[in-house]
Chains A and B, each alone.
Chain A
């Protein structure tokens, strides 16, 4: 068996008396899209926070790219190649989309302590960033302040930044949220090709997208994974039907 890129084992996180993450074990294998679904309040956000490092787990381990990352900070995990997008997109609003992606490029190059050369004349930064923007289809909007981009465009911008980091895995937190039907469709097509580049852990409410994209699905309820399997297995799983899917299946 191929070694998973991301391996989460027996992860536990308590908030006072509430056990928000209850022994979660989950892996992400090369080339796959692994969808994480579950009702609101199931602990998806808490789990994501622990994977990317904004929250520290109480026990359990997180291995990424062959290394235990459970005690690293957000920036260190990102440098190892954990690329992520946010539920509410997170960008530098005053900068253009281009300069946002250039920030990711310079971070990838490990060169943020250069004080004199103007970035806007630095073709190595600009060309790489433009290539990433082209991949997500934002070339025409590259020089517009990110604050003025549409909701969907900001999503694309975030993905371009994750691409620029040369991510070894993508952690996408509800990328379809707030997208219109057209946007969802084109994003679904894009993510379908993105898995070639690096595997995707996809947290998503949009079941059409999940069923269209996922190689495997894990269902999180009350902080526990109640089932993991292929789309068909999850559709048929009686516990999942009662706990969560309801009419969708």
Chain B
């Protein structure tokens, strides 16, 4: 990897995030570990969205659907494992994180494929509104389906397990999330540089050009959208384990909006944009939330200023314009 200014900043960001929970652990302040874990998971969710939005230019306003589906996969599998009731086709639930992750990735990926197959027939504002509408459909379904808590949500009594470690320790759970985040960032970097990524980014820049060289933009985008959904779904499963609770609020359209906001605050189309954005967001939430109950008002104000006057986001300010190969 070439040592550019952006790479250096990325490295510092990753190191800082890693340092926080160790410091918190040493100081006996586990709350800060939870905060860092929250940053890692939100960054993971936004990294998923960044595949569709940053690389593919697909402004999905419905990624909360995948985030929430991942969360419900974790909640439902854990609930069945706890009660011993079989799930579907005689399969039992699971308390193992890696099983839950695989199921979350598959289920949210498949739902992404279905939603994408219809939504990607359109573009522009239509695409934004339709992804929003489908996410809302999932949201209302979760509310009106009483088997898994309906409006009240579903608790995960004991955090799910990972072989060989104690996931109830905040530091351990953080490290699990951190490693998953780093893997997802690597996946993003690989895809961005690959042939598929080339086609996906070209489809964002110039759809006609992609078709003219004989590549169907629809197939490329649909694949990208499904991968994006799967990664965000994985983040949802971790988020449910962090809170040991999953509710329709994970599926709400505010969540979809927040995921986009994370990317924009950090810097659109950049590898570490989601992490920078998630860190900024959680810190805002924590710092402003400590000062005023109305912190969302100021969040809105800051966001407005960023959109109107500082479109590169945090990384844009720190590292200059984004570069493409």
In the complex, are there CB atoms of A and B closer than 8 Å?
yes
- List residues of chain A with CB under 8 Å of any chain B CB: 52, 54, 73-76, 78-79, 84, 86, 90-96, 99-100, 102-104, 106-108, 111-120, 122, 125, 145, 161, 164-165
- The reply to whether B198 and A161 form a contact with Cβ atoms under 8 Å apart is no
B206 CB-CB contact with A under 8 Å: yes
A108 to B214, CA, bound (A): 8
Contact of B210 among A76, A103, A119 (CB under 8 A): A103
Please provide the chain B residues from 190 to 231 with a CB less than 8 Å away from any CB of chain A in the complex.
Answer: 190-191, 193-199, 201-202, 205-206, 208-217, 220, 223
With A75-B217, A94-B201, A119-B198 given, name 14 new contacts (CB 8 A): A73-B211, A75-B210, A75-B214, A91-B209, A94-B205, A95-B205, A99-B325, A103-B213, A106-B195, A106-B199, A114-B196, A115-B194, A119-B195, A161-B213
Known: A96-B325, A107-B213, A107-B215. A115 touches B196 (CB 8 A): yes
Known: A92-B205, A102-B198, A112-B220. A119 touches B325 (CB 8 A): yes
- The reply to whether B195 and A165 form a contact with Cβ atoms under 8 Å apart is no
- List residues of chain B with CB under 8 Å of any chain A CB: 190-191, 193-199, 201-202, 205-206, 208-217, 220, 223, 324-325
- The reply to whether A99 and B198 form a contact with Cβ atoms under 8 Å apart is yes
Nearest chain B residue, comparing its CB with the CB of A98: B325
Nearest chain A residue, comparing its CB with the CB of B193: A118
Give the shortest distance, in Å, between B95 (CB) and chain A (any CB): 31
A152 to B56, CA, bound (A): 28
- The reply to whether B201 and A104 form a contact with Cβ atoms under 8 Å apart is no
Nearest chain B residue, comparing its CB with the CB of A74: B211
Contact of B202 among A92, A113, A116, A165 (CB under 8 A): A92
A192 to B202, CA, bound (A): 31
Contacts of A165 in B (CB 8 A): 213-214
The contact sample of 29 A-B pairs, CB cut-off 8 A, is A52-B212, A74-B211, A75-B211, A91-B209, A92-B206, A93-B206, A94-B201, A94-B205, A94-B324, A95-B198, A95-B324, A96-B325, A100-B202, A100-B209, A102-B198, A103-B209, A104-B213, A106-B198, A112-B195, A112-B196, A112-B198, A112-B199, A112-B215, A112-B220, A115-B194, A115-B197, A118-B193, A118-B194, A122-B195
Nearest chain B residue, comparing its CB with the CB of A143: B325
- The reply to whether A103 and B190 form a contact with Cβ atoms under 8 Å apart is no
A194 to B325, CA, bound (A): 29
Contacts of B210 in A (CB 8 A): 75, 103
- The reply to whether A90 and B212 form a contact with Cβ atoms under 8 Å apart is yes
Give the shortest distance, in Å, between B143 (CB) and chain A (any CB): 36
